[in-house]
Structure 1
Amino acid sequence: MTYLKYEVLRVLRNGAFTGYTVGFPVGFYLLFTVVFDQSPVGGSAFDAYYMVSMALYGAIGTALTGVGAPIAMERSKGWTRQLALTPLRPGRYLLIKIAAASVLSLPAILAILLCGKLIHRVDLDLGTWLALVPALWVGALPFVGLGIAIGYTFRDESAQGVALAAYFLMSVAGGLWMPTVAFPAWLAKVSEVLPTYRAGELSWRLIAGESPFSGGALILAAWTVAFLGLAAWRFRRAS
């Protein structure tokens, strides 16, 4: 718990990281919802729909860039070898990274939900507001596994670049930057198999008054297993 506390504090003190994972999604949300007048999407007001999209976008950014790049940097600088001399075992180090990324995804989620409520007066019942936080948090968890796999495959700046590329491409193609109804038919079909789209679907269904559990949830679960399996394999190889 001590190492976890220091890990979380270390990241929170990094103003650039906090600005990127919280400030950018909040800025995008305000830009696209204040400047542009958008029609409802999937039975939900655009303000509410895009609030969910940007909250997930910020949480995924934390999961990917908050795990992969730090692991790669600590490996290249010899910090993981130094930790091997302490009672902290490699598996526990990995669990701390996962826990830290999970905790650090909450500020982005809460900040954007707060913007939706206070600025756009997004009208949802209390049960939906309370359900959105765990739904968005669970939706971002698979990307922690992908971040770990990247961190144990690439080094330093390469890991950061790969994580950012995956983040950007999957977010755009998965319908987080713009609804998939605006996509060409072929791209909309591609987006339906991406984990970003299925993660967003959990919360999009919630704000539409539907159950979040559907066939899409099973696809997201399959991606979660695949990413965690890839992370475990790369971790064993690196260790």
Structure 2
Amino acid sequence: MSTLLAFQLRRVGRNRQFLFFTVLLPALFTVFFTEVFGAQAGTGSAYQEYATGSMVAMMAYGGMGAALGATIRISFDRASGWLRQLRVTPVPASSVVAVDVLVGVLLVLPGLVVVALVGRFVNGVQLALPTWVALVAVLWLGSGAFVALGLLIGHALEEKAAGAAIGVVGTVLAALGGLWVPVELFPGGLRVLAHVLPSYWYAELGRDVVALGAPAPGTVLAVAAFAVAAAVLTAAVVRRRPSPAVAGRAG
């Protein structure tokens, strides 16, 4: 299992587009939004509130994007026959699934850390050390919901459709979930919609940590419910749609 995990981590981690969109872009957005709109928020505590909120939103954006992006390879593996080849190796099916989940979760962490560092040392966000640690940890764990969503898309759709779906789903969840523009600025209907999206509740995990020191039970329940629903749907899709018998290995 460790060999397969290392292989899959190297495979996704060396993808420059993945690193750009999940690490560099959220960090750049953090600086951009804070520089452009932070001054309008005011100074002192008002600036801190805006800069912190922007940073948390971009951490959530990067975490969601990394979780979805790291699992898109599932559709390529299924189409190429790589998953079918793994079935005839000594690697148990449960280990293959565990590796898929671990790859998605582990590759979320670099983006979260980089955006947090940018928030602290570029934008001047001030938080106590335990809050920093809790913020990164909670968003890291919460990203499992989007790993489950990525696995669902990867198993349900063909490779080209899965790639397009990941892009569309990520963009819609970011835009309507309040990761680019605060939900408070949305008109009434969109504000209601935002509150049913997992991206909103994922970012709310981080906002709760900043404001309360820990996520509120309702926030945790919302993210967990989405994760369970996506996982159950993924299991159903996998049972009904076996991998094609095509020889080859995904690159």
Q: Is 1:58 aligned to residue 59 of structure 2?
A: no
Please state how far the C-alpha of 1:136 moved relative to its aligned partner.
Answer: 0.7
Q: Which residue does 2:24 correspond to in 1?
A: 23
Identity %: 34
For 2:101 and 2:139, how far apart are their aligned partners in 1? 16
Please state how far the C-alpha of 1:98 moved relative to its aligned partner.
Answer: 0.5
For 2:210 and 2:40, how far apart are their aligned partners in 1? 17
Q: Which stretches in structure 2 are left out of the alignment for 5+ residues?
A: 243-251
Task: Give the paired residue count.
Answer: 238
Q: Is 1:2 aligned to residue 3 of structure 2?
A: yes
Letter of the 1:4 counterpart: L
CA-based RMSD = 1.8
- SS of the aligned residue for 2:190 comes to helix
Equivalent residues of 1:56, 1:139 under 8 A apart: no
Q: Which residue does 1:122 correspond to in 2?
A: 125
For 1:42 and 1:70, how far apart are their aligned partners in 2? 42
Please state how far the C-alpha of 1:13 moved relative to its aligned partner.
Answer: 1.1
For 1:83 and 1:215, how far apart are their aligned partners in 2? 39
Q: Which stretches in structure 1 are left out of the alignment for 5+ residues?
A: none
Q: Is 1:74 aligned to residue 77 of structure 2?
A: yes
- SS of the aligned residue for 1:223 comes to helix
Equivalent residues of 2:205, 2:215 under 8 A apart: yes
Q: Which residue does 1:221 correspond to in 2?
A: 224
Q: 1:154 aligns with which of 157, 163, 167?
A: 157
Equivalent residues of 2:209, 2:215 under 8 A apart: yes
Equivalent residues of 1:44, 1:207 under 8 A apart: no
**After superposition, what is the alpha-carbon deviation per residue over 1:44-90, rounded to whole angstroms, capped at 9, x for unaligned?**
611111111111111111111210x2010011111112222211233
Q: Is 1:192 aligned to residue 214 of structure 2?
A: no
**After superposition, what is the alpha-carbon deviation per residue over 1:75-123, rounded to whole angstroms, capped at 9, x for unaligned?**
1111112222211233321110100111000001000000001101111
For 1:22 and 1:182, how far apart are their aligned partners in 2? 26
Please state how far the C-alpha of 1:28 moved relative to its aligned partner.
Answer: 1.2
Q: Which residue does 2:142 correspond to in 1?
A: 139
For 1:12 and 1:221, how far apart are their aligned partners in 2? 27
Q: Which residue does 1:91 correspond to in 2?
A: 94
- SS of the aligned residue for 2:41 comes to coil
Q: How does 1:176-187 map to 2 (within 5 A)?
A: 176-187=179-190
Q: Is 1:47 aligned to residue 48 of structure 2?
A: no
For 1:90 and 1:165, how far apart are their aligned partners in 2? 30
Aligned in 2, Cα 1:42/1:65: closer, same or farther, shift over 3 Å? farther
Equivalent residues of 1:139, 1:200 under 8 A apart: no
Aligned in 2, Cα 1:4/1:228: closer, same or farther, shift over 3 Å? same
- SS of the aligned residue for 1:73 comes to helix
Please state how far the C-alpha of 1:162 moved relative to its aligned partner.
Answer: 0.7
For 2:213 and 2:48, how far apart are their aligned partners in 1? 11
For 1:86 and 1:24, how far apart are their aligned partners in 2? 38
Letter of the 1:233 counterpart: A
Please state how far the C-alpha of 1:43 moved relative to its aligned partner.
Answer: 10
Aligned in 2, Cα 1:231/1:43: closer, same or farther, shift over 3 Å? farther
Letter of the 1:49 counterpart: G
For 1:42 and 1:64, how far apart are their aligned partners in 2? 33
